[in-house]
Structure 1
């Protein structure tokens, strides 16, 4: 019986938003107002498509983008946490569910030499087209009214667990580590034996606190964190039983 660790990426693994960080590559490190103001709620991936097209139109290509992305700082203590998880892979399966994209996450994890920590990464598919422009697509279609149209993290988690049940893999506990509003939907799916670990002071923790005030608490235990070392301390206690 293993533990399943589910990580968000932006403001969880890295201490930035990878999608907004890429704007550093734009002329004067900013976007024109017509692009900045074109975002529609729940349609972030479409918005990022316009950002990438603008970067491409301005001659920004793969190498420059990669150089910028691999400078993103990791959240304090995360690399040490990943070393710990690697040493105890017999205890943990580890996945990422993120609203970033495959290219950014792959670049960042490879540059930090931590790819081997993660069994699977679920995020929006991205690639460079024949003209050298970065393109991004929705991860999937879903019917969840609470989530952006491109990604319902709860659906991803449900399908992941169903597939593993077919292979007769059952987890003793799920630990969900995240920070943002789009992490609430999968968190509400967790059961009483599971643990949600919201980043201290970020939106997910505030939303969970509000639910508790509204007498609609999450079923899972709530353990807030500020650094990867706090998560590591919790995992150390967990595997000692």
Structure 2
């Protein structure tokens, strides 16, 4: 089964239920050092420095991987991802974490193959056995030029532009974007009226959207936890698929053939528009 739906997930606090950097630092006992370094350099640079500290203190790659494999995730997230993939959706990740974290966690969860693309900060193990983390946008050479609340190392709005431009017959595609942080605001502004944005309720992206929801062209559907994420996402997928096929079937036939999950009333878009 194939469809025209592209689902873009943030990673931290969206697929997993915490911030992966903070989880690793806290679990390995380096919170105080991290807090000392954070005011002195961008977050992305601090994390590369922390990886050097881990290595200098004898923490192995295997130990880091074991900590990442224990990261909390809501029990309904994996079923939601698998269901969306089974329905033919194109699943992608746009995250300000890093490739080493994401690949380690997805592999452990057994869901790597469900994603066609991961856009994130480069993260790899060098010849010395140390994880290196570098910025997606090399802000030391040039700014990404975005005037929204994007961090210097990543503008997710530009990444969404790239995804949209790279997809053949992009105009026929429908996007669903899920995220929680301030960095997820910029890509929300790049979506069109035919698209959907799913901000996590009472998180930074939700607050930014609620300040002036008229700036967001896409339909807004909030979620609070993994269970609600699954429910809202599945309803939106069914909604889009119904709209795509309604021209081929009569109204009577549609009512007779829809499965029961599709007949469940769709949640209303959040009432934050003036």
Same fold, TM exceeding 0.5? yes
CA offsets per residue over residues 158-209 of structure 1, 9 Å max, x none? Answer: 1121122xx4454431111111100001111111111110112211111111
Aligned-partner SS, 2:175:
strand
Summarize the Cα distance change of 1:200–1:21 in structure 2 as closer, same or farther, 3 Å threshold: same
Cα deviation for residue 234 of structure 1 reads 2.9
The offset of 1:117, in angstroms, is 1.4
- 1:146-157 alignment to 2 at 5 Å? 146=148, 147-157=150-160
Q: After the TM superposition, which residues 54-69 of structure 1 pair with which residues of structure 2 at under 5 Å, given as runs? A: 54-69=53-68
Partners of 1:14 and 1:225 in 2: CA distance? 14
- What SS does the corresponding residue of 2:190 show, helix, strand or coil? coil
How far off is 1:130 after superposition? Answer: 2.0
Further displaced range: 105-114 or 73-82: 73-82
Q: Which residue of 1 aligns with 2:120?
A: 123
Q: Is the 8 A contact 1:4 1:175 kept in 2?
A: yes
What is the deviation of 1:72?
Answer: 0.9
Once residues 78 and 171 of structure 1 are traced to their aligned partners in structure 2, the CA distance between those partners, rounded to angstroms, is: 27
Q: Provide closer, same or farther for how the CA distance between residues 78 and 17 of structure 1 changes in structure 2, counting only shifts above 3 A.
A: same
The whole-number CA distance in structure 2 between the counterparts of 1:238 and 1:73 is 31
Bigger radius of gyration among the two:
2
RMSD: 1.9
Q: State the TM-score, normalized to the length of structure 2.
A: 0.79
Q: Could you say which residue in structure 2 is the equivalent of 1:223? A: 221
Indicate the SS of the match to 1:39.
Answer: helix
Q: Retained in 1: the 8 A contact 2:180–2:203?
A: yes
Query: 1:19 touches 1:48 (CA, 8 Å); kept in 2?
Result: yes
Q: How big is the shift at 1:51?
A: 1.3
Is residue 236 of structure 1 aligned with residue 238 of structure 2?
yes
Aligned to 1:158: 161
Shift of 1:66: 0.4
**Residue number among 9, 12, 15 corresponding to 2:11 in the alignment:** 9
Size of the aligned set, in residue pairs, is 231
Once the two structures are superposed, the pairs formed by residues 1-241 of structure 1 within 5 Å of their partners are 2-26=4-28, 29-33=29-33, 35-40=34-39, 43-89=42-88, 92-141=89-138, 142-146=144-148, 147-164=150-167, 167-212=168-213, 216-226=214-224, 227=226, 228-230=229-231, 231-241=233-243
